[in-house]
Amino acid sequence: GRPRDADLNRIIDTDLHPVVLPEAGLALSSWLVHILGTQVGDFVEIDLLEGRRRTVSLPVTALVEDYFGIQGMMHFDALARLMREAPAVNSVSVSLDANERDRFYDAIKSMPTVSGVALQRVSLANFRDALAVLVTTMANIYIGLAAVIAFGVVYNSARISLSERARELASLRVLGFTRGEVLRILLLELAVLTLLAQPPGWAIGYGLAWTLQTKMAGELMRTRLVVEHSTYV
């Protein structure tokens, strides 16, 4: 259950816009909708495992695009009516002044009903650090492999072209071309072939990134495919 007028713990979609829960019905995350094969307007059966246990049927009235987990959400008051209980709170989000942090911790310790405290800033920093290490490591590995493969392909192409066109290059020497001019002709040919191979390589790379982004999406986390101009540099 979520309140509609929350400020510190809002539901945010993939465009960072706050999502307002409908007063009735159930809001499902996009991945859960994909798993269940439902859409807005369909009814889903839910087994209540707390309080008066029973099976209820609720309409899907909203779809929430998110990146983490799978969840179903309802308006705070609607959930209380569904459970046939008084509204209850199991978590509280507070904005904490850094100068008052110690007093806040002391107050929390004197409340036995509070099971734990999570700092969003610390959790977000740890997540970013772990993700940065993973992304940086994988990027360095891919860049290294790409550089080795590119060097090998260009080098082998140059050797093959030189061996197949040895007589033609020798004829250029007979016609009066210097070694530097013959070398420039050979390198220019390799440069043209390399430039012509770039657009297909970009398309294949984009397709590979899209495939990985699609196949790696799961219940725990999803990612958005973001390709900028600097990606191709």
- For residues 141 and 105, membership in a common domain is answered with no
- For residues 206 and 124, membership in a common domain is answered with yes
Structural domain of residue 102, as residue ranges?
26-109
Interatomic CA distance for residues 25 and 56, integer angstroms: 12
pLDDT in tens, the chain (233 residues): 777 777 777 777 777 777 777 778 888 888 888 888 888 888 888 888 877 788 888 888 888 887 777 888 888 778 888 887 777 777 777 888 878 888 888 888 888 777 778 777 888 888 888 888 888 898 899 889 988 988 888 888 888 877 877 787 788 777 888 888 878 888 888 888 888 888 898 898 889 888 988 887 777 777 788 888 877 76
Backbone phi, psi, residue 7, to 5°: -110, -40
Other beta carbons within 10 angstroms of residue 75's beta carbon come to 22
Residue 8: strand, helix, or coil: coil
Q: How many residues does the chain have?
A: 233
Q: Are β-strands 26-29 and 72-73 bridged in parallel, bridged antiparallel, or unpaired?
A: antiparallel
- Residue 233 falls within a domain, yes or no? no
Domain total for the chain? 2
- For residues 125 and 212, membership in a common domain is answered with yes
- Residue 8 falls within a domain, yes or no? no
Backbone phi, psi, residue 87, to 5°: -55, 135
47 DSSP β-pair partners: 55
